[in-house]
Amino acid sequence: MTKAQAIYERDAKRRLWVARVYGTGNIVTGRTVGEARRRLLRATGYCANDVEDDVILPNVVKRRLNVLEAARGRGSGVLPVPDSFMRTAKKAVAQAFKAMGLGLREAASLAGVSKTTMWRWTNEVERRHEK
């Protein structure tokens, strides 16, 4: 059986996530990707295993996440990653999500880190601006 593809896009004006499965005509919204996903599954009648999720992020956020991912990958190998590079990458990701107007939990979920980690990155950015 082919999986249905769910597309999640951020509506910046309404500060909501818009979710749709093409071919069904169902469009739902939610404050978080998780909420939009639950509503979409309820509206379409699909099981969670029958849907493949695709979260569309702005290009700026994608690029910053890619830099952070590359830094993490380099850190686990032979080449050490300079602390300044990691700090810069973390700061860039935190700023991008903050500019999108996302909460800590949502930003952490999309970045693949814990809420506490995202909080540290965000506070590090704010502390640096205060000085």
Domain ranges in the chain? Answer: 4-56, 59-130
Q: Could you say which residues of the chain have pLDDT below 70?
A: 1, 74-81, 125-131
Q: What is the pLDDT of residues 99-114, one digit of tens each?
A: 888 888 888 888 888 8
Taking the model in full, what pTM does it have? 0.73
Token pair 């909420």 is at which residue? 35
